[in-house]
Amino acid sequence: MADCIFCKIIARQIPSQIVYEDEQAVAFKDVSPQAPTHLLIVPRKHVAGLSACGDEDQALLGHLQRVAASVAAKAGVASGYRLVTNNGRSAGQSVDHLHYHLLGGRSLQWPPG
């Protein structure tokens, strides 16, 4: 998508602090961190959100979960982190590209908000 900020980050049209990438996913630091560790994990494939995923995306979704575990370990928060995805504006999704927030490095309260 030409106007998607995450697609532009993936294409290196917008600078970002990328901490991980492979053929299916990219992880980078959030520009407005809500925890000492706040990374975004996005698929290279543009998908608007979790509800837009189909059966063909099952392997991709599993891969994103494994990437999250890997980048959490690399960031030093494997012993405790939160992985969040928002789906839709009413849930707080501000970019229409599937993404996971990985939050860690501090005590995370429940319920979250």
Catalytic positions are 99
Cis peptide before 111 (omega within 30 of 0): yes
Place of tokens 């994990």: 41
Cα angle value 41/28/53 (rounded, 5°): 20
Coil vs helix vs strand at 37: strand
Cβ-contact 72, 35 below 8 angstroms: no
| Residue type at position 86 | N
